Structure 1
Amino acid sequence: MTVFQIEAFITLAATLNFTKASNLIHMTQPNLSKLIVAMEKELGVQLVQRTRRDVRLTPAGSAFLKDARVIAGLYERAVKNVQEVAAGIRGTIKVGFMSTALIYLLPKIVSTFQERNPSIVLELYDYTFSPLMSSLLDNRIDVALVPDRELDSIPKLEKKFLYADDMCVVLPCDHPLNTGDGVDLAAFSDEPFVIMDPKISDRDYELVYSICMANGFYPKVNHEVNTLNNLLLMVECGRGISILARHMQHYATGALDFIGIRGSESAFKMVCAWWRDKNPCIPRLLDVIDDCLA
């Protein structure tokens, strides 16, 4: 039995007239009659009583009509759902992010997106850099809001620029080398450093080393820590200085200063990265991101 047969029966039940029903479904009256007979044979019951004067549903026909309407409604809903999914109107986007880098931007993106796209679910996953990239590369997430580091070499990965930030020396306010923004990092070559444990965030670990090496020295690492809060605490305790992007200052107390490094302006870049042609809902998220950045 086809959906068309079910819908034809519903139309006949609504009109109780073969001529009117056949006109509504754009088929001849004899063909509609054959269609109903075929349904009755398949079900093994009579659905319609036909006389010269009228057409009536049998008790079995009335009972079948209730379920037929449910089936037709489910089919219509299924068609609509699958078309909306294909068009990116309905679905799910799995978004991975680093909360420390998106404290201001992410809430605006999420609230704006959900307001505009109530039929699309945003699933949010908070990571440090390495697990975030692993989740993206393994297709466990659709989109990554991530620092731009060697992403151009990944085939079929698209990216959109979000923002840039300065890299800063982080040190106590009363540190003797605290001379204000625009410092030469080489002046800190003899200072002990507090950095992230590479097992936790190899990106942050490598970034500190690369910036120091670009300024002519290797950092003297005094502490490796596993969280941003621990890093800031160790710096505040005088166990060393560190290097972070300026937006991390939001997490620090007033006892620490973030001093811009000369030559490292806008060195920290955040992007939105996603797989090309993977999820039809993603363009709607990109539109919202554009509006939030405008």
Structure 2
Amino acid sequence: MELKHLKSFLAVAERLSFIRAAEHLHLSQPALSAQIQNLEEELGVKLLYRTRRVVRLTPEGEIFIEEARATLARAERAIQRVQKASRGEVGQLRIAFVSSAALEIVPHIVTLARRKLPEVSLDIRNMRTSLQLQSFRDNAIDVGFLRLPLQDDSLRLQVIHREPFVIVLPASHPLARRDRIKLADLRSELFVAYGRHWAPGFFDAIIRLCTDAGFSPNIVQETGEMYTATALVAAGVGVAILPRSIVLSQRQDIAIKPISPKLAVSEIAIATRKDRDTPMLRAFLAIATSCSRL
């Protein structure tokens, strides 16, 4: 049974006229009659009673018209769904993000993706960099938002956000009263750091900033959350070097100082596996890059 036979049957059944049905389908009347005859022979029942003047549904035709409509509707939904899938508009994406991307980056991208891809289910998880890397290896996530620097040959990385590092001090710290300070001014300070265990590349970048300034930081406290690092600075545990967006929303009891030169920047990239490239991933990446703040 072919879909075109069902369409021809419905055209006749709804108009009760072979002439009007043939015109609607852009078929000749003999071709249309042949399709209806083939359908009836395949089913083994008479669907239409017809004379030169009258066309009407048989009792079997009355039943079959509803089934034919439902079958064509299901076929149309299947066609639409597979076409949407080819454009990346249907499916599920598992997305992980570091908490430091939760304030300025991820919410806007996710909101836009849900509006533009309403039939894509977004499974969103807060996940540290080290766990994201393992989850990529386990094929447990499809997309990650990560702080750079990062070296992983299995991942495709695209920078979507860039911001300066800043020095974070307790508000009561003597250096907090200065308009500008140098990294070298921190050589004798105690440091709070986002630990190497959770983000090795990021930790090493902070160490490199300090060594380039002529000293090795005395780290007395490591933490797995940048917002916790800010709270520890406010409590007087030490000073920290963090991305600016992390501390802008938590300015109570802390002072923020810029780092010179301005080349000292922190970047967030969107990551996907190099061996995966689907229309859905490409559609999401296009939305994410359209929100880029470079």
After TM superposition, the score normalised by the length of structure 2 is 0.81
In 2, the alpha carbon distance for the partners of 1:61 and 1:145 equals 58
Question: Residue type matched to 1:272 in 2?
Answer: I
Question: Which blocks of at least 5 consecutive residues in structure 1 are unaligned?
Answer: none
Deviation at 1:171, TM superposition (A): 2.1
- Once residues 16 and 137 of structure 2 are traced to their aligned partners in structure 1, the CA distance between those partners, rounded to angstroms, is 60
Cα deviation, residue 62, structure 1:
0.6
Give the aligned partner of residue 161 of structure 1: 160
Query: Could you tell me which residue of structure 2 aligns to residue 149 of structure 1?
Result: 149
* Structure 2: runs of 5 or more not aligned: none
How far does residue 278 in structure 1 lie from its aligned partner after superposition? 2.4
- C-alpha distance in structure 1 between counterparts of 2:86 and 2:195, whole Å: 43
2-structure distance, mates of 1:11, 1:190: 87
Which structure 2 residues correspond to residues 1-294 of structure 1 after superposition, within 5 A?
1-136=1-136, 140-150=140-150, 154=153, 157=156, 159-162=158-161, 164-178=162-176, 180=178, 182-263=180-261, 265-274=263-272, 277-280=277-280, 282-283=282-283, 286-287=286-287, 289-290=289-290, 293=293
CA-atom RMSD in angstroms: 3.2
**Aligned-pair CA distance for 1:249:** 1.0
1:284 Cα shift?
A: 6.5
- 93-102 vs 239-248, which moves further: 93-102
Deviations 1:223-259 (A, max 9, x none): 2223334423333333322221121113535212222
Displacement after TM superposition at 1:120 (Å) = 4.5
Equivalent-residue separation in structure 2 for 1:81 and 1:204 (angstroms): 42
Contact kept? 2:184, 2:213, Cα under 8 Å: yes
The separation in 2 between residues aligned to 1:219 and 1:291, in whole angstroms, is: 35
Quote how far apart the aligned CAs of 1:102 are. 4.2
How far apart, CA to CA, are the structure 2 residues paired with 1:19 and 1:225? 79
SS where residue 242 of structure 2 aligns?
A: strand
8 Å Cα contact 2:193/2:229 also seen in 1 = yes
Matches of 2:266 and 2:116 in 1, distance apart?
Answer: 30
Change (3 A) 1:242 1:93: same
1:22-71 deviation digits (Å, cap 9, x = unpaired): 34334443443333233223323221223343222111111010111011
Stretch deviating more after TM superposition (252-261 or 176-185): 176-185
Task: State the number of aligned residues.
Answer: 292
Give the match's secondary structure for 1:85: helix
% identity of equivalent residues:
27
Q: TM-score, normalised by structure 1?
A: 0.81
In structure 2, relative to structure 1, the CA distance for the partners of 1:158 and 1:32 (3 Å cut) is: farther
